[in-house]
Amino acid sequence: ALHLDDQHSTLSSVSFRTDKKAFVEEMPELGTGLSLTASANQQAEYTKVRAKYYPNGVPHYEEIGNTAYITFDAFEDTGCDDYYSAPREDELDNTIRLMQYAYDRITRKDSPVENVVMDLSLNGGGNAYTAIYTIGLFLGEGQISLDDELSGALMASYYRIDTNRDHVFDEKDTLAGKGYKFYCLETDSSFSCGNLVPNVFKNSNRVTLIGQTSGGGSCVVQYLCTAAGTPFRISGNKRLSFIKNGAFYDIDRGAEPDVYIKDPNFLYDRKALTDYINNEIK
C-alpha cells in the first residue's frame, strides 16, 4: 500500500482468499500510503480547529450578518427521493438538496445576504455531478471537462440546473447576476472534486478564493483487482480539467487563493471572517 502513493490510490480490501480479520490484526493501516496518511493527519488538525468554534458540529447553512456560509465536507447524493419538493434541514447532507436549501434562504424576501461563502476547506471530493450542480449555483452553468490521457480524447460538458424547482431552466435558478459577492474557502485538504470546484471558480474570475492552495487530485478513480483477487484503486486515465481559450488545463497543482490565510482559526471564526470580508476584501 505504501507504493500506491497518492490520495486517490489505495487498497480497497483484501483478497476473498485472505482471512481479513487476521490480516488487519497484522496490518491495521490497510491501504494507507504516505500521501494519504499525511493528508489525513492534516485534515484531522483542521477538523480539531473547526471543532473549537463548532463543538456540536458545523451547520451546513448559516448566516452571520450579511454573509451566508455553505459548508460541506463531501459531494454526496444520498437520501432523497424527490428533488422537486421543498428541501428539508434533515436532507442537507445531500449536496444537491443543500444547494437548493441555500438558494431558497439566500433569495427569500427581505434576506439580509450580500455575501455568499462556500466552505470547501475540508472537502475531500465525491460525486462529480453534485460538484457540477454546485458550480451552477454560483456561476449559472455547471461545467466539467475531461482529458483522456490514454486516447488523447477531450470532452467538455455544460449543464443548466433547476435550483428553484419550477421545471424551467433559466436565470432564476442561479445566484449569478443577482448582485451577490461570492467567496470560497479552500485548503490543501480540498481534494478531488473539492479541488475541481475552486479551480473552476478561479478560472471564472467571479469568485474570491480564501485560504490555501487546494490539494489537487484531478484524475478520476480507476478501480482494479489483482489476479489473486485483491481490489484496489488508482488515479485513472481520465483527468479533470478546465477550458480556457479552447485549451484544456489540468487541475492537479490546485487553485491558488486570492487571499492567503495560513492560520485555520481564521477560517472558522466566522464573525472575524465576516468582518474581514466586509471591510478588507475589495
* Cβ-contact 93, 130 below 8 angstroms: no
Q: Average pLDDT of the chain?
A: 92
User: What's the CA gap between 2 and 186, in Å, rounded?
Assistant: 27
Question: Predicted confidence band at 2 (pLDDT cuts at 50, 70, 90)?
Answer: low
- CB-facing half-sphere around the CA of 112: CA atoms within 13 A: 8
In this structure, what CATH number is given to the domain that contains residue 148?
A: 3.90.226.10
Number of domains in the chain: 1
* Cα(67)–Cα(117) distance, integer angstroms: 7
Does position 23 have pLDDT exceeding 60, yes or no?
yes
pLDDT top residue among 147 and 30: 147
Nearest to 67 by CA among 121, 123, 120, 119: 119
52 belongs to a structural domain: no
178-204 per-position pLDDT tens digit: 999 999 999 999 999 999 999 999 999
Place of cell 478520476: 220
Share of the chain above pLDDT 70, in %: 97
Q: CB-based burial of residue 275 (10 Å sphere; 0-12 exposed, 13-18 middle, 19+ buried)?
A: middle
The more confidently predicted of residues 38 and 280 is 280
* Residue 246 domain flag: yes
- 55 pLDDT higher than 70: yes
pTM for this model (two decimals): 0.91
| Residue ranges making up the domain that contains 184 | 61-279
Q: Is residue 53 part of a domain?
A: no
User: Is residue 198, in this structure, part of any structural domain at all?
Assistant: yes
Structural domain contains residue 265? yes
Question: 42 or 29: which carries more pLDDT confidence?
Answer: 42
For position 31, what pLDDT does the model report?
61
Confidence of residue 24 (pLDDT cuts 50, 70, 90): confident
Query: Quick check: 252 pLDDT over 80?
Result: yes
Q: Is 34 domain-assigned?
A: no
Residue 83 lies in a domain: yes
